[in-house]
Amino acid sequence: MRAILLRRLATAIPTLFAVVLASFFLMRAAPGSPFDAERPLSDATRAALDRAYGLDRPLLEQLGRYLANLAQGDFGPSLVYKDFTVSALIAQGLPVSLMLGGLALIVALVLGVGGGIAGALRPGSLADRAIDLAASLSVALPSFVTGPVLALIFALWLNWLPVAGLGGPASLVLPVIALAMPVAGAVAKLTRTGLSATLAQDHVRTARARGLPPFVVLWHHALPPALIPVVSYLAPAAAGLLTGAVVIETVFGLPGLGRYFVQGALNRDYPLVMGVVILYAGLILLFNLIADLLYGLLDPRARE
Amino acid sequence: MRGAITTVAVIALAALLLPPLLAWGYADIDWDAVRAAPFSAGHPLGTDSIGRDLLARTLAGTRVTLAVATAAALVALLIGTAWGAVAGWFGGRVDEVMMRIVDALYALPFMFVVIVLMVVFGRSILLVFLGIGAVEWLTMARVVRGQVMTLKNRPFIVASEAAGASVQARMTEHILPNVAPVAIAYLMLTVPQVVMVESFLSFLGLGVQEPLTSLGILVHDGADDMDIAPLTLLVPGAVLVTLVVALNRVGEGLRGRMAR
């Protein structure tokens, strides 16, 4: 277990470092500047701004300073949101995004695993086929289409839920559903396939033959190994939730990290974009690590 | 699969051939018919918030989306095949390093990599598909590498080596033609993914730019106007979803055939 952890960390840390380096140099290589306004700045103002943000220093010195600050959790000042550091913006947006993503992940796992089990227990039944169709559709539907369509139906036409903005649990229902849908569909398909394979295996037949109650057979013998594909899907799912959140937060006007990221990208706010990319990369590497550790818990054969 | 191919063909042909036959171009503004209802004032699907014909715009957007998707998938094919073929052919240390890089890139939130590329190099349609192609080649590289590795030791390749064929000749005459069917099947699976990525970027305002339009931009504009003219959201959304589902079907069908 510890060996796996160490080996994974040995690739995760250089990867993260490479992300930091790559995004730093890409941002500096970018033509145009965040200070390009509609009215051209005078040379003196420009030089003063560059000096204030340290942009006139040699590149390596800028990198060194950025890395030193990063090590202390400081992503530098935002170039567009005056008086805000990137860390402060992240601190504002991250809780909203984590709540949205976390709820969506829970909803997706409950619906997906539940649907997969229901399908695998009665293969070929009407329920199985209905769940499979729903799963195929929700995987294919992009969140930037489902988000607005859900808002149109449930907020504008039926008037059941708020259209946009953050306020109370009701305002999270549509964003969470829109975000969870593709992940739930993928999880349902993986669970269905995995479970119908393990249900046919010898150890499950033995457990049944020994007269264990069906619930115990399912829960203790058939389901854990069947969930391994779901676990290896966790890391891509996390990436999907993060990218999905960018759209969902924009569509539903939620003040999360994704919205800052899009605004930063449109405004050429380099430190903000870099900060969010580094944070996202870190989160995804963390999810990869968690998935690797879960393998061992679910399947003893993977512990070696 | 036949139904899926027909669906893709109908959508693609409509996007290519219909626009010249319509009364309105996709950028023409009909000042007398702002947010017109369907089947009114000569607009079969009505107009958007500034009086542009929805049918013409949807067809134009579909065309751009399909063009970008094809170009980006070809970029991915080119990079992926080259990378995978080199890694699979040389094996050993070279393979190890090249595939580690692929693994590391897999772990990254690639959508954000594309967005960063857009931010850095400015938003142009050329960059949209170069950028998407530059991140979508990973699976292709893995597939091609696997193929090359199994082909490399097959008797006919060994025989051609014994017969004195150069590395280049063996690669272009024996390996690549045998990799091609599988690579093409994966190419077809890349296209719907690229359609999604392009629409996603354009939806956020980071992809294709006005006056050009794409399905992503149309969905975005439709979402802004959906309370008054729901069709401006529903029509491009439905076309996009149909296209993605049908393209996926075609890709999966092809892969199934090649795997046999």
B80-105 pLDDT, tens per residue? 999 998 898 888 888 888 888 887 77
- Give residue ranges of B with CB < 8 Å to any A CB: 100, 103-104, 107-113, 115-122, 196, 199-200, 203-206, 216, 219-220, 222-223, 226-227, 230, 233-234, 237, 240-241, 244-245, 248
Q: Which of A30, A148, A288 sits opposite B226 (nearest CB)?
A: A148
Chain A residues close to B108, C-beta within 8 Å: 15, 19, 281, 284
Encode A100-132: b = buried (16+ Cβ within 10 Å), e = exposed: bbebbbebbbebbbebbbbbbbeeeeeebeebb
pLDDT band at A39 (very low <50, low <70, confident <90, very high): low
Structure confidence at residue B57 (pLDDT)? 86
Q: Is the Cβ pair B112, A250 closer than 8 Å?
A: no
Q: In the structure, what pLDDT confidence band is assigned to residue A33 with cuts at 50, 70 and 90?
A: low
DSSP string, chain A: -HHHHHHHHHHHHHHHHHHHHHHHHHHHH-SS-TT--SSPPPHHHHHHHHHHTTTTS-HHHHHHHHHHHHHTT---B-SSSTT-BHHHHHHHHHHHHHHHHHHHHHHHHHHHHHHHHHHHHSTTSHHHHHHHHHHHHHHHS-HHHHHHHHIIIIIIIS--S-SSS--TTHHHHHHHHHHHHHHHHHHHHHHHHHHHHHHTSHHHHHHHHTT--HHHIIIIIIHHHHTHHHHHHHHHHHHHHHHHHHHHHHHHT--SHHHHHHHHHHHT-HHHHHHHHHHHHHHHHHHHHHHHHHHHHH-GGGG-
Q: Which CATH class name applies to B57-259?
A: mainly alpha
Do B46 and B35 touch, CB atoms closer than 8 A?
yes
pLDDT band at A69 (very low <50, low <70, confident <90, very high): confident
Residues linked to residue B53 through DSSP beta bridges, in sequence order: B47
Chain B residues with CB inside 8 Å of A246's CB? 111, 204
Residues 6 or more apart whose CB falls under 8 angstroms from that of B257 comprise: B185
State whether A152 and B206 contact (CB < 8 Å).
Answer: no
Q: Per-residue pLDDT for A135 more than 70?
A: yes
CB distance B205–A145 less than 8 Å?
no
The CA-CA-CA angle for residues B250, A237, B110, to 5°, reads 75
The answer on pLDDT for A227 being more than 70 is yes
Residues B135 and B106: their CA atoms lie apart, in Å, by 9
Per-residue pLDDT, B119: 73
Partner residue facing B245 (CB), from A140, A144, A265: A140
Element (H, E) at B80: helix B54-90
pLDDT at position A302 is 59
A107 pLDDT more than 90: yes
The reported pLDDT for the residue numbered A290 is 81
Domains in chain B: boundaries: 57-259
Burial A56-94, CB ≥16 within 10 A → b, else e: eeeeeebbeebeeebeeeebbbbbbbeeebbbebbeebb
The nearest CA of chain B is from the CA of A218 a distance in Å of 31
C-beta atoms of A27 and B120 within 8 A? yes
Q: What is the ipTM of this complex?
A: 0.75
Look at residue B47 and tell me whether its pLDDT is greater than 80: no
Nearest chain B CA: its distance from A282 CA (Å)? 9
Give the homologous superfamily in CATH for domain A93-249. MetI-like (1.10.3720.10)
